[in-house]
Chain A
């Protein structure tokens, strides 16, 4: 093999180098600034490389570089980049009322290692690589969830995530062993052939359901979602953001990787299962979110509901579904991060709760407008990004004739509207305390403008959707 043949693998290799460099840099840099700059510059470069770099596909044993995997990787990179920006004030003294985080180099290094796992996950060509990727994408979060120093909630979140993660890993591994027993192979092509040959093998179905259980944990899909509110609430906000966007995207990618290609032959038989899980997730998420006062807990439930909508895509046909999933993750990520940045801003002076939003319209009208955009987008109101995403998901399910399911989903969207409006109400109507006006740094203003514009552009202009559909669909 010549060196040139490794070009498609360049992003993955660079990421590994970046992760190691960031882990080391803490030894030399006292204040952690160098680690931050190295990380974001590295990630931005990686994003450019993935978007505009080599387009050729390649196979390295069971590690496949495909166009679809590049799209997923770009998504993970952007989500991590946003997390890095979000976490900056949390490492500054006085940046957050909950306490300052320390050792930014280790924090960013762990994020990058996590990303490495996600990269492996979407490039997996057999179940072992798949499993290793999944594990690597999860383990750093055990530490990250407990990153808030001297904070019982955070420690609890970490330990809880360890327990649940361990359990889900066991399920996944158990499922993989069943699949191996049923098909006699671990490689995806052989797996696909075996599934097509004997789709009714009981061992196969046992494997599928255990695997689904393991992935369902990562996805926070009901009825496997119950850890999410506790962990989201206890973890530091940047980690919560990473969990709810990047980690969720990885779980969705894992689901799509498995069920839209090697296990595609049994997907029609799985439709009732996905439909039931979708309905459960929507209902559990929406009912749960209704009475939350803590914003991180609120995000947890709302993201459970979003998973429910996304599961609708698993009912549709391959290409359209993958496009709808990616598009939804993008819009959800943009909306989510806009909300998390607002949480970060109000978290500077007070707790990140509903009541912390009080009087936001007076303290900073622009932020309040952005908050309204976020909530409308999550509720799926045009012309915001969330609308188009929901529309794609619903039409994917409707095209397959699942009208009842679409009906339930639409009804849930209406219910969700109620609690999203409660957030808006806090910002605009609830009587403000004596809190002072909010002042933002130029970087923060830039990021918030960017996210706000993206919310609008993604909702009106379908070009990114087309591009993703073409890239992810092949």
Chain B
């Protein structure tokens, strides 16, 4: 039944290309992982890169085919989703006759095609970059297969045609990121970080699984084509539960699914894993932060957006978590001194913006919200990847992550290309016209305004100002800084490191940086038409379920907020200006040395002590107040009581040798009591 909303089409080259998009990265993983990686790291690096390049080429074929044969084909309008292929994967017979099946498909619609393009293109560039970056690493033969696997899982995720497939790839993305973040497994901090990322996202995924089951079982299908239709929302929109505890199933299910996105996209308070994930090699970070892993959460929310927009409560949660995370992470980023950590918090903040943009859709203009968020995912992927790759080049050159040491190196002269590329990316993320970030950020602000969500609008503006400040700080400290500040100039390890390894910009590492600078600068102007112009992302099929009329189109409200870009730009420029004054003009080093730091700075620098709170909860509370008492109770009270009951009280000292026979009686006593209690409380009640 869901198929009626899918465009029927047959254009063979596109099918083959779609298969290839999934098969080539998998092939690269298998070839390199099972065989080539052990033989020659170099050969495996090039194989992976070439195959990923081919994947990118195939994704262009698919994208152009999609545009010509489905998106703009008049006879298919308004259907804009199609399946390149689909095979039944799992059949669950559910007793009552209903058959719930999960399929393995390749779903084409504007956002999946966009993501396929972004992922394959960025993965290709990251592969290219890694050839240079991982050249001297002993584990390079292990690195490239994992990188291919990571790309494969993310591609599989974005083209999923149903929730079950999504979940499957979702978990694979998690597993792949676990292996890559913990790539340097001899380093305890890397292992701890990978474990943290995995366990935290698993926790969130548990809710996802529950939401998925609740939604799928009740709507009768896992397929997006069906779930995004009006029947699914109607079928789910009823209360379950009994007595005092009743839930609206639609809210409960979508909230569960959103919890998965919450963890994966590292919204507060699940955000703690992302900054630590920096322990992986820099190319991995760039991939995680731009095209894979973290955007999966935003993507999932967007993928089910028609269903979400029927659940008002869930959308409000999405909006609040997003807006809060945006401001919160931007504030923390202002006080970090580790290059990659600043970028990590900036990712958190930008993800928050995307999420809050989706959430604002509850105000009656879901189309505007949806397109703005997707537009920002798109532009963010490029400039964030560029930021990471150039940060990697800096780290590679000075052998340090510390922004204060980078400032000592005079890198502006030594790495001119990296300098300019970073400048472009920094200006783009700060939202300076005419770079890409300006347009997508503006779209988000407009969406908030059009939906009447003034809180989200304020959060967006505030985030914009903070972003401009910390990114300018980042830039000026690295390239215009000096070693004054907390560190004595003669003691700078960076200087020593530099003497040992003179700074050079390797061709293989610079090329992807230069390539990425182009979309980072221009993709906003070029993509504007696609995202918000005549070819709309938000079609009739989504609008129908959310009760939105065709006339409610994105960006038609620009006139009502023409002051918005001006205000945003002024805020951004003043943020950047303050950073310039402080760090480049006054040469303030990395702001405060530790002793003089005021309390508010320490709180920011320590990331609001969230990690410490978690550690406290996990170590102290869980193990001391839950696990330990449980063990103590079992050992002392349960066993002890029954020893006493059976008249065989043993001394603790003899417990090891002779208490065992007493314990069998205790086991039996517990068992009998258990059977009795089960019968008493769950039996038919005689």
Q: Do A and B come from one complex?
A: yes
Residues of A in contact with B (beta carbons under 8 Å apart): 156, 160, 163-164, 167, 171, 200, 202, 205, 209-210, 212-213, 216-217, 222-224, 226-227, 230, 269-270, 272-273, 275-277, 280, 287-288, 290-291, 316-320, 361, 376, 381-383, 387-388, 391-392, 394-396, 398-401, 403, 406-407, 410-411, 413-414, 417-418, 421, 425, 428-429, 462, 465-466, 469
Known: A217-B671, A287-B630, A291-B627. A273 touches B92 (CB 8 A): no
Report B105 CB to chain A, min CB distance, Å.
15
Instruction: From the candidates B172, B174, B210, name the one contacting A407 in the complex (CB within 8 A).
Output: B210
Are B684 and A230 in contact, CB atoms less than 8 angstroms apart?
no
Contact with A along B269-291 (1 / 0, CB 8 A): 00000000000000000000000
In the complex, which residues of chain B have a beta carbon less than 8 angstroms from the beta carbon of A417?
199, 202
Identify 14 residue pairs between A and B in the complex whose beta-carbon atoms are under 8 Å apart, listed by A's number.
A160-B660, A163-B668, A223-B673, A224-B671, A320-B92, A381-B202, A383-B171, A410-B206, A417-B199, A417-B202, A429-B185, A429-B191, A462-B89, A462-B91
In the complex, which residues of chain B have a beta carbon less than 8 angstroms from the beta carbon of A287?
627, 630-631
User: Once bound together, how far apart are the Cα atoms of A465 and B101, in whole Å?
Assistant: 14
Are A276 and B217 in contact, CB atoms less than 8 angstroms apart?
no
Are B667 and A403 in contact, CB atoms less than 8 angstroms apart?
no
A-B contact count (CB 8 A): 154
B54 interfacial contact with A, CB 8 Å: no
Known: A394-B213, A411-B206. A227 touches B667 (CB 8 A): yes
Partner-binding segment picked from B361-369, B559-567, B674-682? B674-682
User: Once bound together, how far apart are the Cα atoms of A209 and B631, in whole Å?
Assistant: 28
In the complex, which residues of chain A have a beta carbon less than 8 angstroms from the beta carbon of B668?
163-164, 167
Report B615 CB to chain A, min CB distance, Å.
14
Are A399 and B217 in contact, CB atoms less than 8 angstroms apart?
yes
In the complex, which residues of chain A have a beta carbon less than 8 angstroms from the beta carbon of B172?
382-383
Known: A403-B240, A413-B206, A462-B89. A398 touches B670 (CB 8 A): no
User: Once bound together, how far apart are the Cα atoms of A382 and B178, in whole Å?
Assistant: 13
Are B168 and A382 in contact, CB atoms less than 8 angstroms apart?
yes
Near A by CB (< 8 A), chain B positions 66-104 give 89-96, 100
Report A411 CB to chain B, min CB distance, Å.
6
User: Once bound together, how far apart are the Cα atoms of A202 and B683, in whole Å?
Assistant: 10
Closest residue on chain A to residue B170 by CB atoms: A382
Report B594 CB to chain A, min CB distance, Å.
31
Are A277 and B96 in contact, CB atoms less than 8 angstroms apart?
no
Are A428 and B627 in contact, CB atoms less than 8 angstroms apart?
no
B214 interfacial contact with A, CB 8 Å: yes
Instruction: From the candidates A156, A273, A320, A401, name the one contacting B678 in the complex (CB within 8 A).
Output: A273
Known: A223-B674, A361-B185, A417-B202. A209 touches B210 (CB 8 A): no
User: Once bound together, how far apart are the Cα atoms of A395 and B96, in whole Å?
Assistant: 13
Are B667 and A164 in contact, CB atoms less than 8 angstroms apart?
yes
B203 interfacial contact with A, CB 8 Å: yes
User: Once bound together, how far apart are the Cα atoms of A361 and B673, in whole Å?
Assistant: 46
Identify 19 new A-B residue pairs, CB closer than 8 A, beyond the known A217-B671, A276-B678: A167-B671, A216-B671, A223-B670, A224-B674, A272-B682, A291-B627, A317-B94, A319-B93, A320-B93, A381-B202, A388-B90, A395-B217, A399-B94, A403-B240, A410-B209, A414-B202, A418-B199, A429-B185, A462-B89
In the complex, which residues of chain A have a beta carbon less than 8 angstroms from the beta carbon of B678?
209, 212, 273, 276-277
B686 interfacial contact with A, CB 8 Å: yes
Closest residue on chain A to residue B660 by CB atoms: A156
B664 interfacial contact with A, CB 8 Å: yes
In the complex, which residues of chain B have a beta carbon less than 8 angstroms from the beta carbon of A202?
686
Near A by CB (< 8 A), chain B positions 299-346 give none
Are B686 and A205 in contact, CB atoms less than 8 angstroms apart?
yes
Residues of B in contact with A (beta carbons under 8 Å apart): 89-96, 100, 167-168, 171-172, 174-175, 185, 188, 191, 195, 198-199, 202-203, 206-207, 209-210, 213-214, 216-217, 240, 627, 630-631, 634, 660, 663-664, 666-668, 670-675, 678-679, 681-684, 686
In the complex, which residues of chain A have a beta carbon less than 8 angstroms from the beta carbon of B206?
410-411, 413-414
Are B664 and A319 in contact, CB atoms less than 8 angstroms apart?
no
User: Once bound together, how far apart are the Cα atoms of A315 and B652, in whole Å?
Assistant: 42
Are A318 and B682 in contact, CB atoms less than 8 angstroms apart?
no
Report A43 CB to chain B, min CB distance, Å.
31
In the complex, which residues of chain B have a beta carbon less than 8 angstroms from the beta carbon of A273?
678-679, 682-683
Known: A205-B686, A382-B171, A469-B93. A213 touches B675 (CB 8 A): yes
User: Once bound together, how far apart are the Cα atoms of A164 and B665, in whole Å?
Assistant: 9
Closest residue on chain A to residue B97 by CB atoms: A317
User: Once bound together, how far apart are the Cα atoms of A403 and B252, in whole Å?
Assistant: 11
Are A395 and B664 in contact, CB atoms less than 8 angstroms apart?
no
Are A421 and B91 in contact, CB atoms less than 8 angstroms apart?
no
In the complex, which residues of chain A have a beta carbon less than 8 angstroms from the beta carbon of B199?
417-418, 421
Are A429 and B188 in contact, CB atoms less than 8 angstroms apart?
yes
Pick the 8 closest A-B CB pairs, nearest first.
Answer: A317-B95, A223-B674, A272-B682, A273-B682, A226-B667, A398-B213, A399-B94, A213-B675
Instruction: From the candidates B93, B174, B631, B673, name the one contacting A291 in the complex (CB within 8 A).
Output: B631
In the complex, which residues of chain A have a beta carbon less than 8 angstroms from the beta carbon of B667?
164, 226-227
